[in-house]
Amino acid sequence: MMADVMEQSGGPARPEAEQQVPNGTEATVPTSAAVDNATPVEARTGTEEPTASARIVQIRERIDEIDNAMIALWQERAALSQEVGATRMASGGTRLVLSRERKILERFRVALGADGTQLALLLLRAGRGPL
């Protein structure tokens, strides 16, 4: 399975770089700028054709930027959700507000289908912990 992942992604995990996230902590995320240029282009992109290979590299750089933004937003969302829960419980409220969780699940399901539901469940767990 790991060989499949490495083959599809163009090689082993790339070196990591520090990134400042909104909540003031630092996250370590991979960057495409650190690609090992000694690896043959076909192994990195899946094609020897120069134009296609260059476009694949360009697209992957944008994907890496999006992934980094998603990681930072995920961490910020989890921290904010944890703060909401702590504030609610400190004031004598409940640990969870199920109606709020149902609304989040529905919003993600409508926008993204079944995968959206799974994503929302992961987001909710990141913010409140497992049930």
81 and 102: one domain?
Answer: no
pLDDT confidence of residue 131: 79
**How many Cβ atoms are within 10 Å of 44's Cβ, its own excluded?**
19
Reported as half-sphere exposure (CB side, CA atoms, 13 A), residue 8 has a value of: 5
11 and 38: one domain?
Answer: yes
46 and 86: one domain?
Answer: yes
> pLDDT tier at 41 (50, 70, 90 boundaries)?
confident
**What domain count does the chain have?**
2
89 and 126: one domain?
Answer: no
Residues 6+ apart with CB under 8 A from 89: 95
Q: What mean pLDDT value characterizes the chain? A: 81
Helices (H) and strands (E) in the chain, counts: 5, 2
pLDDT confidence of residue 28: 53
- Burial label, 108 (beta-carbon count in 10 A; 0-12, 13-18, 19+): buried
Average pLDDT over residues 88-96: 94
Residues of the domain holding 34: 2-93
For the whole prediction, is pTM greater than 0.75?
A: no
11, 2 contact by CB (below 8 A): no
Q: Phi-psi bin for 10: left (phi > 0), alpha (psi -120 to 50), beta?
A: left
% of the chain surpassing 90 pLDDT: 63
